[in-house]
Amino acid sequence: MNDDFNELYNMLIKERKDVSEVKDKFMDDYSLKVTELRTLYPKYPSIKSEYDLDTEFDKFRIDNIFLRNYIDNDLLDFKISILENLLNDLYKERNFKDFIIAKEEMLSKEEYLNYIDNNDINIEYKLKWLKEFNDK
């Protein structure tokens, strides 16, 4: 797509109410899911019963702090790993979307109309393009 077309396309797309409703709904849903993940905390095991708190309180406190810290660090590493993988996948998805646009622009009128109207054909093209994308 050339720059003039991109500018016109972006201007028209931003003014469409149905497009902004879809995007707003998606962003709200996505934000809610991310918030749910961020506020997910473990229920720590209780080790109080393993100590005589009158005589071993300091040992209990140190062990309990260590245990909670150990759990928290492992779970933070896990969350970071999940988010890093998600971020990498999103960058790949963006590149694949650009690849798809280039492929869609090369379709004939009949191919393109079949592609957007027929889900089976759409999937068939996208699977073919995904293989091409991954092979490059």
Phi-psi region of 45 (alpha: psi -120 to 50; beta: other; left: phi over 0): beta
Reported as a single tens digit per residue, the pLDDT across 102-133 is 999 999 999 999 999 999 999 999 999 999 99
Q: Which residue has the tokens 């293989």?
A: 131
pLDDT band at residue 93, thresholds of 50, 70 and 90? very high
Q: Tell me the domain boundaries of the chain.
A: 3-101, 106-136
CB 67 within 8 A of CB 73: no
CB within 8 A of 31, min separation 6: which ones?
none
Instruction: Give pLDDT, residue 36.
Output: 86
Instruction: Give pLDDT, residue 118.
Output: 95
Whole-number Å distance between alpha carbons of 17 and 23:
10
pLDDT band at residue 8, thresholds of 50, 70 and 90? low
The answer, yes or no, to whether residue 14 has pLDDT greater than 80, is no
The answer, yes or no, to whether residue 1 has pLDDT greater than 60, is no
Query: Residue range 6-15: average pLDDT?
Result: 64
Query: Residue range 87-94: average pLDDT?
Result: 94
Average per-residue pLDDT in the chain?
Answer: 89
Q: 52 is written with which tokens?
A: 């005589």
Instruction: Give pLDDT, residue 56.
Output: 97
CB 71 within 8 A of CB 44: yes
Reported as a single tens digit per residue, the pLDDT across 44-55 is 999 999 999 999
The answer, yes or no, to whether residue 38 has pLDDT greater than 90, is no
DSSP state for residue 49 in the 8-state scheme? G
CB within 8 A of 101, min separation 6: which ones?
1
Pick from 110, 113, 109, 112: nearest CA to 100: 112
